Chain A
Amino acid sequence: MSIFIFSDTRVIVQGITGGEGKFWTKHMISAGTKVVAGITPGKEGETVEGVPVFHTIRRALSQVQADASVIFVPASFAKDAVFEALDAGLKKVVVLADGIPTQDSLEIRSWALSLGAMVMGGNTSGVATIGESMMGFIPFWLTHVYGKGNVGIMTRSGSLTNEVASHVVRAGYGFTSVIGIGGDPVPCTRFAEVMPLFQEDVHTKALVIVGELGGTMEEEAAELVQKKIFTKPLVAFIAGRTAPPEKKMGHAGAIVTAGKGTVSSKVGALEKAGARVASRPSQVGELLKESLRGNGDG
């Protein structure tokens, strides 16, 4: 078990014929993902890794059935691609592009919420259920980074997740599902919306949050713990303790204005709620041990 994607989730790849689309379709299939169709306008009739390509999702759905879509198109086309997937009735969408205009993300989120769909991204490395399925570009084959186990992980960052995940594995644990909600200032799905899924999943014994400065998502996560909506052990690492204020550090999300969204406010909220916060990635494994021991699962 796991969350969001499973071994039987039927996945469409939008932008399958591009360089990254092709490269990662191969890896998604070897991760166990059931890729049923690829979409690139003008390329219908071709195949990529044995997957049939269609001009549009509507045309694909006349031939195959699908539940989810992973989108490899550039940021400038991302909103249109997400709307195409949502209009076709797909309820799970992962949009990988880095650099989606913020107002596009607002529109995507608003539209997805009204349809009861969940969109992960943009600016994410994707989602994976280890040993079952992967949508995006998570190097699941690096078993010293992404071993299978009973810890869930959700994150606003890609490379940093690899770093943190490798320390979780070094400490002897592995993962159920990896959920990248993305590094944009306004992601299409928020931490607090993913946590109930991890709460329900019987195989997830603990959760790791990889956060960063900016926004209020870590504070919202703390609130779920405080209110006992999320009751499993929670360990967080939050990047940006020493970032100067008013400077954008790559992710537009990671900017502190008017004293809101600082790392110290996030750490404070999480610790007050009873979560453990690592001050360095290498401490995450140790804190996870402590939490699981405290929970009688050590």
Chain B
Amino acid sequence: MSEFFGSPQALLILVLAGFLPNEVWRTAGLWFGAGVDEGSEILVWVRAVATAILAGVIAQILMQPPGALAGVPDWLRYGAVAAGFAIFMLTRRSIFAGVVCGEMVLLTGKWWLG
């Protein structure tokens, strides 16, 4: 069992650095969200902020890419996402078509660059 989970120290780090930082925000959301009315104006604002923060996360992954994605040139990352978005709009918002197209552009571009 200890081999499966690794050291207790690593699990402690998982809880402290992984689980708690996420759960704190979720619990705070539960605390505030449970009292908000579904049709209220503040929810429009909260949803706009959630969308904009998510947009920031998207921009951050593209600008400061993690791991293997950092090996892909900037223009190819932006180009792949732009192509995916264009196809998404042309196919009347098909996520599947957009994702497949973006990935194809990335793979073809990377293959072509060698």
A binds B: no
